[in-house]
Amino acid sequence: VNNTYLWNTGSKAREISINSSGTYWAVIGDSNSCSVSDTISVILNSPPKLDLGTDTSICGDSMQIISQPFTSYTWNTNETNQGINVYASCNYWVNIVDSNGCKANDSIAVSLNYNAPPILTRIGDIIFSNKDGDHKWFRNGMLVSSFNNIYGITSYGEYSATHVDTNGCLSD
């Protein structure tokens, strides 16, 4: 078949590629000098802009990941909400669909650094923590020392401590 093609873009190819919205038409002619034309209106939607943020490391045992608003969500946790609560260090991803039916996906690596509170033991006038490293010592809720895992009692009061881990995270 020796058909000829003429598009409103000037192309004489059987098919054209477009990169902008608009109205396109073509005239197709055959060897018998017969022709037919057709018109199509094309709307090209911008792809959805999905960004879960940069990979992150936080102090704590949970965090919330929230996506921008879209029509539907499918997380690798099988949840279908705009946001999810995560309780483990892991890579999390979401597939979304916007109101135009366009799809996108993104992922984020989350590292949760939970630092459990130290267990304190008192022997005489010395308080020992079960954790090595830096501690913040408190008497009656006021900071009295930032030192290691042993504290010498100097006056009457209620003593507590928080541990600072290698990530800089304070215990509860």
3 state SS for the chain: CCCEEEECCCCCCCCCCCCCCEEEEEEEECCCCCEEEEEEEECCCCCCCCCCCCCEEEECCCEEEECCCCCEEEECCCCCCCEEEECCCEEEEEEEECCCCCEEEEEEEEEEECCCCCCEEEECCEEEECCCCCEEEEECCEEEEEECCEEECCCCCCEEEEEECCCCCECC
Position 1 scores a pLDDT of 65
What is the mean pLDDT for each group of 10 consecutive residues in the chain (172 residues)? 92 95 96 94 94 96 96 97 97 97 97 95 96 94 92 93 93 86
Position 110 scores a pLDDT of 97
